[in-house]
Amino acid sequence: MSKIDLSLSNLDVLFPDNFSQEQIAKGKTLFLKELAFSTHKFYGGKIATMPKAGVYGFNWFNVWYTPGVSKVSTTIRDNHETSYDLSNRGNLVAVVSDSTRVLGDGDCSPSGGLGVMEGKAFLMKYLAGVDGVALCIDSYNDKGEHDPDKIIDFVKMVQPSFGAINLEDISQPNCYKVLDTLREEADIPVWHDDAQGTGSVTLAGLINALKIAGKDMNNVKIVFYGAGASNTTIARLIIKAGADPEKMILFDSKSSLHTGREDIKSDARFYRKWELCEKTNPKGITDMDTAMKGADVLIALSKPGPDVIKPEWINVMADKSIVFVCANPVPEIYPYAAKEAGAYIVATGRGDFPNQVNNSLGFPGILKGSLLARAKKVTDEMAIAASYSVAKFAEKKGLSPDYIMPTMDETEVFAHEAADVAMEAVKNGVARLKVDWQGVYDKTLADIDEARSSMKLLMDQGFIKEPPNDMLEAALNTAINSVK
């Protein structure tokens, strides 16, 4: 076997020529999982804490710590706002999770979420120059139940140390109460990335997909497969952006959402789902076969595939149909199969397929803009502003059925997004600072450049070591042998 390109720029070419599209798709997933495991073990995780101030002589320890730091402490005591200027608080985000809904793997125990939460912190730093800390917590109460109030109390206790909170991988219905309570009661932005982040980025992709297909937001029929935190928030943001809720149908694991769902109405914890029961699906359609006939858009965020969405459902959709299958780590149907079934535009949550609709395009820029404006919260209007910012950035590059979204290596999209979000925070009256668009844009780009230059320096100097090629080969061989 020839040496594997460490950039992993094209995974398809790693597999034998006689492999089918299905084998390659499955093989890529297995390869990435195997490589993730071995490299995480090799590095011992992927996040470390580094000072950003220098030590120029022995007495600098007395500047950074006692006695010198006493003036910093008393200044912040007398004016809490100065904590943003005298500490790293203004660029620091806590990634908080009880790990009860980790990607497609379900409840992984509190520490089981560390790989994902460190991943969020990694992306924040590299994509937007934001510092993140993974905080996986135990949300069990004395009855052995996951208690949303424990998460709420925890966030309130740690918020003096952070500029914002990124909630992640909290199962429903607890996620609804946690977010809605903290958005109103916390003093800093509290953002649920599985809900608002996924909602914002999905709306961005939909805006551009509809442009390519020549369809209007207010006229399209949309079917949602899955009605968890992600899809319910996506639906809510799409409605705010102009879609007609009466032309929308959502399905959960039991049936569709409609006013006859007494099981949802009777459980007050699912109030967000009940709101959609009242707004959508007025005809009370309860089966996917009927719902999909003539549908313009399918948005699936349910469970890992690839056989969750049936090709025959896609086959009966309207002309130039749009299919978002965003379950991780495996989409509900592979893109090639969706295209064979008649889909015009297909998006997934993965970067190794065209049209990645993933919240990694949202939360770094949204949080950066919120931090630079010192926002008190992230409003729905700020999330929607981010959607249009991302969509317009891609449109300037030139849209096509295989390019509806920017990719994560298009650096400027995060600076544009941060600036647009900050301006919306000012407009919404939730910004503590009066900032200007260009200033936020320039500061974001500068911080991104500093983060990436620092990482490159560590890589060039060997402090971040390259994973050995035999590690990549072992992961690839495991994947190939598993799907032969």
Q: Which residues form the catalytic set?
A: 65, 120
**242 Cβ contact partners less than 8 Å away, ≥ 6 residues apart:** 217, 218
The residue assigned the tokens 């999982």 is 33
Task: Report the C-alpha gap between 111 and 148 in whole angstroms.
Answer: 18
Distance CA 140, CA 154 (A): 12
The tally of CA atoms less than 13 A away on the side-chain side of residue 121 is 24
Q: Give the closest residue to 250 by CA, choosing from 230, 271, 265.
A: 230
Positive/negative CA dihedral, 51, 52, 56, 58: negative
CA atoms within 13 A on the CB side of 436: 3
Q: Two tokens at 111?
A: 């520490």
Question: How far is Cα of residue 359 from the mean position of the Cα atoms in its chain?
Answer: 3
Phi, psi of 36 (to 5 degrees): -60, -45
Give the list of residues 6+ apart from residue 365 with CB closer than 8 angstroms, or none. 127, 128, 386, 389, 390, 413, 414, 415, 416, 417, 418, 421, 444
CA dist 16 to 11, 23, 29, 165, 432, Å? 11, 10, 15, 45, 56
Alpha-carbon gap, residue 148 to 107, rounded angstroms? 15
Distance CA 61, CA 180 (A): 43
Tell me the residue type at 71: K
In the chain, count H helices and then E strands.
Answer: 19, 9
Structure tokens at 263: 């099981």
Look at phi and psi of residue 354 and say left if phi exceeds 0, alpha if psi is from -120 to 50, else beta.
Answer: beta
User: Three-state DSSP class for 344?
Assistant: coil
Respond yes or no on whether the N-terminal peptide bond of residue 160 is cis (omega within 30° of 0): no
Rounded-to-integer distance, Cα 246 and Cα 250, Å: 11
